[in-house]
Amino acid sequence: MRIIAGEFRGRALASVGKGDAGAHLRPTTDRVRESLFSVLTHTGALNGARVLDLFAGTGALGLEALSRGAQNVTFVDDGRVSAGLVQKNIDICRAASRARLIRRDATRLGPCPDEGYDLVFLDPPYGKGLGQKALQVALDAGWIADDALIVWEENAPMQPLNGFDLEGHRKYGDTHVTLLWRNVAE
């Protein structure tokens, strides 16, 4: 696993090995990240974005965004293994000044201490309904900016919650990515 493009291009990230089933770690493959970030580049959502990476896992999505022009990234994960990998990958990219790790359950965020985030990666353990819960909690607690783009990775296409408009679905093998825009009119 590596950073594909931008400032950190080519940096090899800490390996998960064959994954950690107990920690529900299944890093987004380089191929999926490359395709996904091609889409995100065309939306204009990356440049200067404040990024929130929920269920961060290894932190690869947030670090790829940072490498490609995001202003900063906040990683949220409560797993011991995940937190260690995220911190190690922040160090590999020498991104500590622009990255923050919050060791917390993404479904129990509490109030946002800052302004809402422009770009939100949501990559929960598949098929457990945690994405819906985390997204609703983040919305209610002020973590999501009015015009934010949500990138939701699951094992099936996801339907938008109230307050979001569907931008589209992308399928990469067994991975489904749903793109949602925050809609403050609702």
Domains of the chain, earliest start first: 21-182 (3.40.50.150)
Q: How confident is the model over 163-178, as a mean pLDDT?
A: 91
Structure confidence at residue 23 as a pLDDT band (50, 70, 90): very low
pLDDT at 183: 87
pLDDT tens digit string along 58-106? 999 999 999 999 999 999 999 888 999 999 999 999 999 999 999 999 9
pLDDT at 17: 58
| Residues 5, 175: Cα–Cα separation, whole Å | 21
Residue 99 φ/ψ, nearest 5 degrees: -135, 145
| Residues 27, 60: Cα–Cα separation, whole Å | 8
Give the containing element (helix H, strand E) for 82: helix 80-92
* 16/114: higher pLDDT: 114
In the chain, % of residues over pLDDT 70: 93
pLDDT tens digit string along 120-159? 999 998 888 899 999 999 999 999 999 999 999 998 889 9
Q: Which residues contact 30 (CB under 8 A, 6 or more apart)?
A: 1, 2, 4
